[in-house]
Structures are given as C-alpha cells and as structure tokens.
Structure 1
C-alpha cells in the first residue's frame, strides 16, 4: 500500500520529500542561494520557507545549507586574494547582498539635543 501524499495547510498535497534535506545541504555547499534552491525544486521561495516552517528537519537542513553557502562565498573571496584579475568589488557586493547581517556596513548616527531644544520642540 502506497503512502498518502502529505498535505499542506491549504489541504493540497505538498511536493516536499524528506530527501530534500540532503539536497539543500548539497546545494548550499556549492554556494547556491535560497532562490536557486527553490528553482532546483521548481517551487517558489515561499514554498521553501513553508517547508521549513512545517518540517523541523528541513529547517535544520536549510539553516546548515545557508552556513555552507556563506562558507563557499567566503572561500571564493579567500582564493581570490591570490588571483590576478579577481574582482573584489563584485565579490563584496555579492556577499553584502547575500549575507547582510555579516557583511553590511553599519553606521551609527548619534544626535544630541539639549534640554532647552527638546522643550522648545514640545511647545
């Protein structure tokens, strides 16, 4: 007797399969983004997120895949440091876009307002 297809929250059968966990990790190891992973499965990025929300093992695999993906990109940057013709600006833009938490420069701006100025603004 064949297993019944899993159903998503909306009642439709899901295309998710447990073996996708191994696949996303392997895709991460070669630097693929979440969008590229979704394209591999021919689903939307939202579907990938939905699978992660409903399947804890897929969430763990996806998180590991993203660590591998970042490591792949960082390895490319390290290798590029010794290669003539390496376009560091393109690499930097790529990692800033892909890994905003770790690679986006943050500038803090502090504004000092005197007590008198603050009271004047309230009036």
Structure 2
C-alpha cells in the first residue's frame, strides 16, 4: 500500500505557481496569503525565486499588481476604515512609493565620512573692580 500524499507545502516547484500567485496578488492578497492559498509558505516562494529567475520576475510583477489593486481601491474609496486600511497596506506593499518618512544621508567630501572638529571655547570674564580703589 502506498502512502497517501501528506497535506502541506508542495515538495517541488511547478511553473504554474507563478501564474497562480500573480492572479491571487492582483486580487489584493499579500505574498504570504497567496502562498498559503496554494499550500506553502512565503519562505518557499523566496527559495523558488532564488532558483528560478522567471518565477522571480513573475512574483515581482505580482507584487506590483497588488500595489495597483490597492491604489485603485484607495482612489475609489469614500472615506473611513477602507481608506485607512488601504493606506496602511500600501505603506507595506509599496514602501518606495508610500512611505511617510523621508531619509536623508549626509556625507563629507567625495562621499566620505562627515568630518567633525572639536572647538575649544574660552570664556573671558571681566575682572571684578573694587569700587574703593
């Protein structure tokens, strides 16, 4: 008697996973949720991306499609929780486009470190003068 297939993650990569993840993420699901829907975890997706360049390209497109879905949802939303939750999702899904924090980096000449020089401060106080002479 043969063993029945065990539930859980598939053991081997299949090319159609790319199209399936693309469809799921284009509907708004995250990468982790899309992978779970297909029966595996996000780390498995990352492993397959490392081994299969065409799959990596498809996942990157899927991430862009998810951002597109979220932006369209935001543009069509009236107000309230949908707007707030969509903005929150966009900040995580597309941090390059949707971040609040602006990061500035300072460098010295030719991109080197910023030079800091110590400055000695000397305080000169007037001498007390004796009013009696």
Q: Is the TM-score greater than 0.5? A: yes
What is the CA deviation profile of residues 52-96 of structure 1, one whole-angstrom value per residue up to 9, with x for unaligned ones? 11111211111111111100000000111xx25564222212211
**What is the match of residue 37 of structure 2?**
40
**Larger relative contact order (Cα-Cα within 8 Å, sequence gap ≥ 6):** 1
Q: In structure 1, what is the Cα distance between the partners aligned to 2:116 and 2:14? A: 61
Give CA-to-partner distance per residue, 1:10-39, whole Å, 9 cap, x none: xxx833111112111111210111101110
Gaps of 5+ in 2: 1-9, 107-113, 121-133
* Number of the residue aligned with 2:100: 105
Runs (4+) of structure 1 exceeding 6 A deviation are: 109-114
Matches of 1:114 and 1:56 in 2, distance apart? 46
Q: Does 1:22 align with 2:19?
A: yes
What SS does the aligned partner of 2:97 have? helix
What residue ranges of structure 1 are gaps of 5+ in the alignment?
1-12
Query: Which residue of 59, 84, 92 maps to 2:87?
Result: 92
- Separation in 2 of the partners of 1:31 and 1:109? 32
Q: Could you say which structure has the higher helix fraction?
A: 1
Q: TM-score, normalised by structure 2?
A: 0.65
- Deviation (angstroms), 1:116: 2.5
Q: How many residues align?
A: 105
Please identify, of 53-62 and 67-76, the stretch whose mean Cα deviation from structure 2 is larger: 53-62
Root-mean-square deviation (CA, aligned residues, Å) is 2.9
Evaluate the alpha carbon distance shift between residue 92 and residue 21 of structure 1 in structure 2; reply closer, same or farther with a 3 A threshold.
same
